[in-house]
Homo-oligomer: A and B are copies of this chain.
């Protein structure tokens, strides 16, 4: 995960504002108000639909069949598995499929998802990966940290979330994504171009922090 590590180090302020956000801390401690979590969960469902579109865009943009297949895994993970898991999880909190599908997209949801889609469409696969990375790899980092910190204990009402993103399946997916971005970077990154890629990464990290904040605001 060399390119990712460099981006993360150079976007340190945006990165820590995202992964150490108050929402994350309260999610880990279990103190997060239920309204905040529920608002987040519904918006995350709408977010995932757009992320499936972004992975489909990656298939379209892939310079090789191997890249196409790697991107396809992302589309499948969302459309074949994650959306249903989300609906089930929402259901366990008393929200119906209808409630969720009818919910209006909040501004931070639109901001991050459309930013990723436009970054990818106007640039190349590397630009798209740089804009996707804070979500894909950041969730793995957060999940692993919370799991290590004991947040997967049943006493935490949000332990399922921690188990999902801290668990091996998701950790492997994120590692695979990082390795894929590294390979693309080796082929497409120049030092002259680097500041633009970093800027995409910084903006995407900032938009992720805004997404957590949207959750917190919902309980205010």
Are the CB atoms of A115 and B110 closer together than 8 Å?
yes
Are the CB atoms of A83 and B56 closer together than 8 Å?
no
Nearest to A190 among chain B residues (CB) is B190
A20-62 with Cβ < 8 A to chain B: 49, 52-53, 56-57, 59-62
Chain multiplicity (copies): 4
Q: Is A187 an interface residue (CB 8 A)?
A: yes
For A61, what are the chain B residues with a Cβ–Cβ distance below 8 Å? 122-123
Cβ of A124 to closest chain B Cβ, rounded Å: 4
Known: A105-B203, A107-B207, A207-B110. A65 touches B53 (CB 8 A): no
Are the CB atoms of A189 and B187 closer together than 8 Å?
no
A186-205 with Cβ < 8 A to chain B: 186-190, 192-193, 196, 203
Are the CB atoms of B187 and A192 closer together than 8 Å?
yes
Tier of interface size on chain A: 35 or more
CA distance A203 to B105 in the complex (A): 9
Q: Is A91 an interface residue (CB 8 A)?
A: no
Specify which of B63, B72, B117, B192 is in contact with A79 (CB 8 Å cutoff): B72
CA distance A76 to B76 in the complex (A): 9
12 CB < 8 A contacts A-B: A53-B60, A72-B75, A72-B79, A72-B80, A105-B203, A107-B206, A107-B207, A110-B115, A110-B203, A114-B117, A118-B118, A124-B127
Q: A117-B121, A189-B190 are in contact. List 15 more A-B contacts (CB 8 A).
A: A52-B68, A56-B72, A56-B75, A57-B60, A59-B75, A63-B123, A65-B79, A72-B79, A110-B114, A110-B115, A110-B207, A114-B118, A118-B118, A123-B124, A124-B127
User: Which A residues are within 8 Å of any B CB, using their own CB?
Assistant: 49, 52-53, 56-57, 59-63, 65, 68-69, 71-72, 75-76, 79-80, 83, 105, 107-108, 110-111, 114-115, 117-118, 121-124, 127, 186-190, 192-193, 196, 203, 206-207, 210
